[in-house]
């Protein structure tokens, strides 16, 4: 057997997502690169690890057993690495964080300096929807989670990080046409929604309900990035977090439309289960945030804090 740790890690991501395409996106690799690594791993076994039925990838029972073995191997390798770092006098371990999809524009900036200070700490960050984020917290699968709306049914503690501002956004040409007309009736706009369970969708629906706006033209997409690209293409308008559209505003691809009652403001919160016993890595990270949070906001997000129409 000549399999590599890289092959095992890629295979585990395929098992998790049941998709080569999704695995490639999460691993920041090309689809052909993931396919090649899966093929190279498969070539070392006479029994199939996966199979394609229709257009869906399925993991075989044998593949599931190899996935279980792969998890144990990678866990042991990580443990050896961490033990080595500890013996050398460094803080080591794994930091597990789950974040909602729009949190990818926020969380890396609150992690970078800490991980540079502690090279023995590995990061595992799951970027997913709000439902899965809260489930991972509830089941104690992660140290922390980043959310923009606090959960109603979980006993958690939190540290507030920064404001989250949501504006009505449109394709520049379509937005300017509406602005030129002098009045905007959101009820008549084709509005693009996030999927159910999304905090962004929840904030958008709360705003529409509060202002008695009955939308007649609706579309639904399953990620903030998909919504953004659809708005850029002119498919419709959406209420979106300012934090995720900085480049598009600067490049004149998107335009914020002034509406009474907007922006909706929430707060990005890092949360954890009440009474959770932290690992040394998690405790060190929480201490880092408490002392460095304001400087990190000033260095990376002052434009967002100061932004006004």
Question: pLDDT-derived band of residue 275, with 50, 70 and 90 as boundaries?
Answer: very high
250/303 Cα distance (integer angstroms): 12
Q: Do domains 5-72 and 78-162+267-306 have the same CATH topology?
A: no
Q: What is the pLDDT at residue 152?
A: 87
Domain ranges of the chain: 5-72, 78-162+267-306, 163-266
What is the share, in percent, of the chain residues with pLDDT greater than 90?
63
Question: pLDDT-derived band of residue 273, with 50, 70 and 90 as boundaries?
Answer: very high
37/2 Cα distance (integer angstroms): 12
Confidence (pTM): 0.72
Could you read off the pLDDT of 13-32 as tens digits, one per residue? Answer: 999 899 998 898 888 889 99
Q: What is the pLDDT at residue 157?
A: 96
Partners of residue 170 on adjacent β-strands = 255
| Structural element, H or E, at residue 184 | none
Residue 231, number of CB atoms within 10 A of its CB: 25
Q: Averaged over 182-205, what is the pLDDT?
A: 86
Q: What is the pLDDT at residue 276?
A: 93
The correct answer on CATH 1.25.10.10 for the domain covering 5-72 is: no
Task: Specify the CATH superfamily of domain 163-266.
Answer: Periplasmic binding protein-like II (3.40.190.10)
Distances (CA, A) of 309 to 112, 168, 292: 31, 12, 29
- pLDDT over threshold 90, residue 155: yes
Tokens found for residue 147: 């959310």
Tokens found for residue 165: 């501002």
What CATH number labels 78-162+267-306? 3.40.190.10
Residues 6 or more apart in contact with residue 181 via CB below 8 angstroms: none
Task: Report the Cα–Cα distance between both ends of the chain, in Å, rounded.
Answer: 61
Could you read off the pLDDT of 52-109 as tens digits, one per residue? Answer: 988 899 999 999 999 999 988 887 777 777 677 665 666 778 899 999 989 999 999 9
């Amino acid at each position: 057997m000549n399999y590599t740790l890289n092959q095992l890690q890629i295979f585990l991501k395929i098992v998790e997502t049941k998709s080569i395409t999704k695995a490639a996106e999460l691993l920041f690799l090309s689809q052909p690169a993931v396919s090649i690594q899966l093929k190279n791993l498969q070539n070392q076994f006479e029994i199939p690890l996966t199979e394609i039925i229709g257009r869906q990838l399925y993991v075989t029972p044998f593949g599931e057993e190899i996935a279980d073995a792969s998890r144990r191997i990678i866990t042991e390798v990580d443990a050896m690495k961490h033990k080595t770092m500890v013996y050398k006098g460094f803080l080591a371990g794994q930091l597990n964080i789950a974040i909602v999809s729009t949190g990818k524009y926020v969380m890396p900036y609150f992690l970078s300096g800490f991980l540079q200070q502690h090279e023995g700490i590995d990061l595992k960050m799951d970027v997913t929807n709000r439902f899965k984020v809260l489930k991972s917290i509830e089941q104690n699968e992660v140290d922390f989670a980043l959310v923009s709306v606090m959960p109603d049914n979980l006993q958690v503690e939190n540290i507030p990080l920064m404001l989250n501002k949501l504006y009505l956004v449109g394709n520049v040409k379509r937005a300017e046409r509406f602005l030129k007309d002098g009045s905007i009736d959101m009820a008549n706009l084709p509005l693009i929604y996030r999927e159910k369970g999304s905090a962004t969708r929840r904030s958008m629906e709360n705003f529409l309900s509060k202002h008695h706006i009955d939308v007649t033209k609706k579309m639904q997409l399953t990620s903030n990035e998909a919504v953004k690209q659809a708005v850029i293409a002119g498919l419709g308008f959406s209420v979106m977090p300012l934090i995720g559209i900085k480049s598009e505003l600067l490049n004149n691809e998107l335009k914020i439309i002034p509406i009474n009652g907007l922006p909706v403001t929430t707060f990005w919160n890092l949360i954890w289960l009440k009474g959770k016993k932290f690992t040394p890595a998690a405790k060190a990270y929480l201490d880092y945030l408490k002392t460095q949070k304001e400087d990190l906001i000033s260095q990376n997000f002052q434009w967002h804090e100061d932004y006004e129409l």
